[in-house]
């Protein structure tokens, strides 16, 4: 679906992204000529380390992982982006490149905006600039919290936090994700994730079958999560606009 061919529908779909939804109607209308709705699939690479970023992406239903890869090939997720945010902060912060990668983890759609249009809108010193700077603060806080969590909290706490984060951004209480991939994103051994997932399943909080993780008891999962999950949620609620109650318009 190309936004240029569906201008009447574009604002309705765009409001499924919290940053775009918070923009005044006049600003969203101005951007509607350049926003393009694109389908994203698991494993799609939106940008790589050191490469010039060409587009910003505002997820509507997709989830995108920002992660850092070492020279040895080891990697870990430093942050995740869903419908509450955007991918491409270096485009308006002046860097244009980043040492991290952005990879799609949950399929869905996102609005794509070329770097020139994003930079021009940011320089207007208006609503878009305010929302992007607030989101940047949220993302920085998420990265700091992730670093602290990976250093000081148990694998079970990290896994619970990670599962809850994704569930907040998905319409269903199920993830299509292998334990090997989760281990890679958290930067831990697969055996550690297997043990943690087994214990959470024994508690009746989740159910795991190959490639699928279903949450059966969200309150129980929250009880095993560390404070990092709640700290990030609190900061998001403080700085970001409330999600639209009716995503259809």
Which of 119-128, 180-189, 219-228, 239-248 comes out lowest in average pLDDT? 239-248
Residues 144, 67, 60, 243: what is their CA dihedral angle, to the nearest 10 degrees?
Answer: -10
- pTM of this prediction exceeds 0.85: yes
Q: What separation in angstroms does the CA of 215 have from each of 64, 82, 134, 180?
A: 21, 19, 31, 18
Structural domains of the chain, with CATH: 3-127 (2.60.120.10), 154-225 (1.10.10.10)
| Rounded Cα gap, residues 55 and 57, in angstroms | 6
Among 58-67, 166-175, 232-241, whose mean pLDDT is lowest?
Answer: 166-175
What pLDDT shows up at residue 7? 47
Strands (E), 88-145: 101-106, 108-114
Q: Answer whether 78's CB lies under 8 Å from 100's CB.
A: yes
Q: Which residues contact 242 (CB under 8 A, 6 or more apart)?
A: 18
**pLDDT, mean over the chain:** 86
- Can you give the pLDDT at residue 12? 55
- State how far the Cα of 20 lies from the Cα of 168, in Å rounded to an integer: 18
Whole-angstrom distance, CA of residue 39 vs CA of residue 151: 35
Cβ(240)–Cβ(84) below 8 Å? yes
- In this prediction, residue 49 carries a pLDDT of 86
- pLDDT at site 180: 87
- Local structure of 189: helix, strand or coil: coil
In this predicted structure, what is the pLDDT of residue 10? 55
Does residue 8 register a pLDDT over 50?
no
């Amino acid at each position: 679906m190309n936004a240029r061919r569906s201008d009447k529908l574009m604002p309705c779909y765009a409001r499924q992204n919290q940053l775009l939804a918070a923009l005044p109607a006049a600003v969203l209308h101005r951007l509607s000529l350049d926003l393009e709705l694109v389908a994203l699939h698991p494993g799609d690479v939106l940008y790589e380390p050191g490469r010039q970023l060409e587009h910003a992406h505002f997820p509507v239903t997709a989830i995108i992982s920002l992660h850092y890869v070492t020279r040895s090939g080891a990697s870990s997720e430093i942050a995740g982006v869903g419908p509450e945010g955007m991918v491409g902060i270096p485009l308006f912060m002046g860097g244009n490149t980043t040492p991290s990668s952005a990879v799609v983890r949950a399929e869905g759609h996102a609005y794509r905006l070329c770097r020139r249009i994003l930079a021009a809108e940011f320089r207007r010193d208006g609503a878009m600039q305010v929302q992007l700077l607030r989101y940047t603060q949220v993302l920085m806080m998420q990265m700091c919290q992730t670093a602290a969590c990976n250093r000081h909290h148990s694998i079970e706490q990290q896994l619970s936090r990670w599962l809850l984060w994704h569930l907040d951004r998905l319409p269903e209480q199920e993830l299509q994700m292998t334990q090997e991939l989760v281990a890679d994103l958290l930067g831990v051994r697969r055996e550690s994730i297997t043990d943690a997932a087994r214990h959470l399943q024994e508690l009746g909080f989740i159910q795991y079958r190959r490639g699928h993780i279903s949450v059966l008891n969200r309150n129980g999962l929250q009880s095993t999560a560390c404070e990092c999950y709640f700290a990030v949620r609190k900061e998001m609620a403080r700085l970001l606009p409330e999600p639209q109650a009716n995503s259809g318009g």
